Amino acid sequence: MNTATRERTFLGYKRQQGQPGIRNTLLILNVSGLTQPAARKIQAALSGAVMVSMPHGNAITGDNDTQVDAILLNLAANPNVGAVLVLSSDERRAPLFQELLSDYGKPCKYLSLGDCDRDIITFTQCAIRMAARLSIEISRQPREICALSELTLGLQCGMSDPSSGIAANPLLGILSDAHVDTGGTVIFSETAEWLGSEKAVADRAISKPVSDAIMNSVTRRERLAVAAKIDLLGNNPNQANIDSGLSTIEDKAIGSIAKSGSQPITSLLKFAERPATAGLHAMDGPSFSPESLTGLVATGAQIMLFTTGCGNSYVSALCPTIKITANPTVASTLGDQIDFDCSGLLTSDLTLDAARTRLQDEISAIASGALTLGEVLLEGDEVICRFGESL
Amino acid sequence: MNQPDTRIKALKGMHADNVAVILNAAKAGELILIDCNGNTETLICAGGVPSFHKVATANISQGDAVIRRGIPIGLATQAIQKGELVHVHNIRSQRAQIGTS
């Protein structure tokens, strides 16, 4: 059968609003510092729950705490989240998350220390009971057939080497092109890794405003680096990148942007912003994997395609992350941390098209419930960016 | 013709590039077979080049741009001979340079 015409599917969790999930995770969303230690205990008491924590105060300066709350809300809105338990020391933050409940139609409960007479032991016990009931509730939901085009793919590279740029990232590029052709959504980021190639990225924008926004986002980050006296050499590219053969940021960027393929770029999203339409989108965000992945999760991506050349064990806690390498040595020495070995692109006659078909099959399997190594090894986390100090 | 091709292979993105990425480490004097979108050229390695590192496919003068896939990736900080390793010891980024803007 012609793979170009057959609609690819997976078994996912349909949601009342928006795209289907590929996992049905209970999210323990801790939004205050006082309750973070208890949140850790609550998460550890439950099977399969993921904790995301923002331990800093409400009065964050800089790009302000509204931005942080938007990230938290968008993380909870990710389709892989089946239910949410919000924990806080401050009961006044409840209305924000009740709004989430009404918008996305997913079970959401809220518990504050004030609800428990500021007794942390009572708080912990209450939260475990509430979370256990939410877990039971969402566990009854069956997986159903969904079109693969309902997936938003997040693209990331980390601990890259030249094999990333010449093989693994071009593979993501043609996969991204094919996914967009079927009506799917793809998001790439890591703005500092467009340096030197930003014109090639901006030239693919669907409009002048999007093109200008891309150019401005690169200029802004370049100025940030200069103002902070951060020498990109040794930082991005980092020492492992350099030891593997990458030289300057411009050299690294050529490989990094290859992930994004050749489709038109529909919009430049802010960090953690949800795209309004399908298609290929760029997100203005930091390059380092933990922050970047969390931003991509907040855009609504259900699955991450993560290339590495030197080896990188870090994954998203909420989105299954397929670790991909084209480096034959790493595929062999770090085989237990690599989900998809495409080193045949460099060592045998494996073609990009054949590798793309295999990777699409892998995406369908993992979207349907097959586990990634990062999930099995519990190497996932989510980190929230801060934009300024707290009052 | 049935002998396996044991020459070191390298990839060059565009014809006008002055560097190629080699897939296996090369020693001085070894022949490097360069593939540029199906067209091949050869060059003699002028010094050790580790795998996945860049080799100069043309003589590059000090101050000239090093070009990969049609994009300047930095300026040569010294003269680089064809066949030599091109890396952070002999090229410098032109971007986000502290004290230049």
Phi, psi dihedrals of residue B87, rounded to the nearest 5°:
-155, -165
Amino acid at A94: A
A240 vs A330: CA distance, rounded Å: 13
Task: Output the CA angle A258-A261-A264, nearest 5 degrees.
Answer: 130
B96 and A225 within 8 Å at the Cβ level: the answer is yes
Q: How close are the terminal C-alpha atoms of chain B, in Å?
A: 57
How many Cβ atoms sit within 10 Å of the Cβ of residue A357?
14
The Cα A80–Cα A75 span in angstroms is: 9
Kindly list the averaged pLDDT for each block of 10 residues, start to end, along chain A of length 391.
70 96 97 94 96 83 72 93 94 73 84 95 98 97 98 97 97 98 98 96 98 97 92 92 96 97 98 96 95 97 97 97 97 95 95 98 98 97 81 71
Cross-strand partners of B76: B91
A229–B98 CB contact, under 8 Å: yes
- Interchain pair A226, B100: CB under 8 A: yes
Q: Which of A231, A245, A254 is facing B98, going by the closest CB pair? A: A231
pLDDT class for B100, splitting at 50, 70, 90?
Answer: low
Output the average pLDDT for chain B: 92
pLDDT at A1: 45
Instruction: Give the relative orientation of helices A289-299 and A64-77 as an angle to the nearest 10 degrees.
Output: 70
Distance CA A58, CA A73 (A): 15
Helix (H, G, I), strand (E, B) or coil at A306: strand
Q: Which residue has the tokens 């064990």?
A: A313
Q: Is A174 helix (H, G, I), strand (E, B) or coil?
A: helix
Write the DSSP symbol of residue A141.
Answer: P
Q: Which residue of B has its CA nearest to A328?
A: B23
Kindly determine whether residue A222 and residue B94, on different chains, have CB atoms separated by under 8 Å: no
Residues of A in contact with B53 (CB under 8 A): 162, 245
Residue A13's DSSP bridge partners are A21
Please tell me the predicted confidence (pLDDT) of residue A387.
72
pLDDT at B4: 54
What residue type is assigned to position A287 of the chain? Answer: S
Find residues 14-43 of chain B whose CB sits inside 8 Å of chain A: 21, 23
Residue A249 vs residues A134, A257, A382: alpha-carbon distances, Å = 46, 12, 26
| ipTM value for the complex | 0.94
**Contact (CB, 8 A) for A391 and A65:** no
φ, ψ for residue B86, nearest 5 deg: -115, 115
Kindly report the length of chain B.
101
- Give the closest residue to A236 by CA, choosing from A157, A163, A294, A311: A157
Q: Is the pLDDT of residue B1 over 50?
A: no
Q: In A, which residues are within 8 Å of B24 by CB distance?
A: none
